A and B are shown apart, each in its own frame.
Chain A
Amino acid sequence: MIAAYLVLLIPFAGILFFAFAGHKQETGRLNVRFNAVTLAATVWLAINVLNNGTLLSSGKAFIVDSFNVYLIVLTAFIGLTTAIFSAPYMAHEKQLGKLTEKRLKLYYSMYQGFMLAMYLVLTTNNMGVMWVAMEGATLATVLLVSLYRTPESIEAAWKYFILCGVGIAQALFGTILLYYAAVQIGDGDNALLWSVLFDNARQLNPEILEIAFVFMLIGYGTKIGLVPLHNWLPDAHSEGPTPMSAVLSGLLLNDALYAVVRNKMLVDGATQSNLAGLLMMGFGMLSFLVAALFLHRQKDIKRLFSYSSIEHMGVMTFAFGMGGPLATFAALLHMTVHSLTKSAIFVTVGHAAQLAGTQNMERIRGLIKTQPKIGWGLLIGTVAIAGFPPFGVFTSEFLVLLATMHSYPWLAPLLLLGIGIAFAGLFRHIQPIVYGEQPEGQLPIKANLWPVMIHLALVLWLGLAIPDFLANWFSQATLLISGSMPL
């Protein structure tokens, strides 16, 4: 359990350190080190869980099981690679005069704050604390979205703040209802602990939990970016600094979905029906289709990929909602590969936008000619996210499709159609960006593409062969969520 405390303490120390030490030349590299140490702690934690099974801290305040431990490692990993990318990127933004030292201090401090909130969402055993941490993540990122202080970024941050704040308030109402149902069967102090609730899920009042779940789905769904509550997401992604888009897409959306799935497990236990799952399927499918259509009319490159995030979150919500071992396994795999691919894409997109000096796709052209590494990175990333074999996204989407054909065959054509539309939407924009005529006066910039290469290599690896320990891990998590083993 010490490892779990370390995972929380290191980012906390990071917030204080960056807030008080101020900004210096090497702050970016220190941020990398903070994240590297956290990653080491999470790996230690993962090994513990692998050897000993579910860990519950002595006061039952924290729980680490096979479901959240891989998300914790994934969070730390993406946190580290994004930090590696953000150090030179932010230094470049400062050179361009877009940012001051004070803002950079805020940026690094809040970067750690965001990571802390993410780890807290994942490790806590208390559904109330989970809500607090989720809201904390909003508060930590809201100033980062407006980091450039342009009227657009302030507007985006305000929208993000209000919509996510109001949305997530619904989740708190759901949590209160859950607590109300729990107090009726047990003592008040432990009534919000997930492990206690899960053990007694059958005794919880099903009617109250049904109502509670609707509120939770709306609340956390705002954060996942489910249509029609998605409006904040493209704005926040396009106006905030690019490293922020990478972690928002790669981590925050996952964690919100994680909160919904944890709640779904309780509701399923209480109602003994798939009502919660059907709701998730509906929202997921709607988000998937709407986002796929919206991909076509984007002009801003970061908005394009934020719609792609909504689309993929829709697929995951759909798959988790469908339930069943195969769909759950596919959803867990999709969570992993989407996070890896999407954060890699945002890294290249950030460099591409810096290179062209704009985010407008009509003016980013000929990347392969100007700086081949960035161009190829973007192209391969897009190929991967569009679901081409042999990348991991293909594998997981294929599994989702298989599960759909098995359980709800009439939904499979919709899913295929959506994948087709999204594929067309991505490539009609990306093709001229990477191959088109190179505009005058663009010079190569200093770019760190290691994160991209590592992420894409991992996604490729996951597509070709899932290593044994990971497959085993996903199977354990699937067993926990859906009650039976896949395959």
Chain B
Amino acid sequence: MKKALFLLLSLSLVATSLFAAGGQEQKEEGPIELEFWTHEDPNRTAIEERYIQEFEAENPGITVKRVTHSSTKIQELVLTAFAANQGPDIFNMSIEDEYAYIANGRVAAVDARAVGYKSIDELKNAYIPKVLDPVVMDGKLYGLPLELTNWSIYINKRVFRDAGLDPETDYPRTWEEMADISEKIIIRDGDIITRRGFDFRYPYYLVSMVPMVEQLGGELISKDGKTAIVGEEAWISFLDYMKAWGPNGRNLGSPTYKNARKLFNYDNNDIAMALTGLYQQGRIKADNEDFYNSGEWMVVPFPQFEDAKQKAAACYYGHYYMVNGQTSERRQQAAWKFIGYMLSHGEEYLTTVNIIQPTKKLMESDTFKNMPYSDVFRDDMENGHIVYYGENSAKMQELIKQAVESVMLSGVSSEKAYATLKAEAQELLDEE
């Protein structure tokens, strides 16, 4: 018995000592193969594969392996890889997920020269204000935006007219109107909705719902960063609004209906309005070119509450290219050089994939100005701020989700949901 136990333990210990020592071995010489992990996006794949070929031709000795993962799974893949000290050289995710990599010193600071600027200041100056804030820590810059996006309301004019509304004049300006107009558009079979007016972006509570609270004078986190869920009245009236929207209220939709952003493109008389970004135009074109060319869609600003205390549009959020900080400087430099090469094609990214790389040059370019409704997105962006990001942002989003679902679906009172949310969010904040 004891002998066997001893053997087992020693085998496990050997395994432990073999695998406990972390760190990646560095090869200082020879060619470099950069591993670049990004999320699935067919339009981007086409142009980036071309950039890779061009870059490799210009830079002998560097090859790039581009690996795509589904956008819902990439977080755990990058995380597991970094946990094993085997992170890819280059990766991008949304900033809420990436922030922890900066906070834990896992990523390398931007090499301005490799990217193609004379200095960090010149680089920072090339971007519009505020957009690099999330990737700055202790004065150092750790990422460059692959895309920065905010959301406004897309409208299907045909559905509006079908419901006896004039899209040009009757579109919703306030959330109250949003509910009333949805009521007019909606078609139900009993309780079951077969045509919806508007669909919230349910999983994205931080981007799309926190601004609604802010309009009412509430905050997610206080300015000093110490208190969570500020403004009882604002949060409760927001929760009341969602309660009235849900199946136990006016029954205008719920998180269990299929989300609208793709349904919208098909123009099947399923949905009149969707909350989504400029990139949607590329997707409409890809899914349903006839609809795209028909001029039967339009974009209007993010609604405000009637008695809003302040103007707030949907938050903007972004994907930033980052470079693994646990590799040799030589690799890091090569990685930044490649990122710099890709990012030098801002206009092509905008025209073929409809994503915005927020440099001053691009935002002031005719290409951007000529994009349909780009002014709506630009104005909304000015009224918005970057989405809440931090090491705990995913959990924070989960807590808001639970609060909204409990009032919408389980019939919990807004006051009770607020109290639960406040207590749990505060505990989460204090733990940091």
A binds B: no
Using CB atoms and an 8 Å cutoff, list the residues of chain B in contact with chain A.
none
Using CB atoms and an 8 Å cutoff, list the residues of chain A in contact with chain B.
none
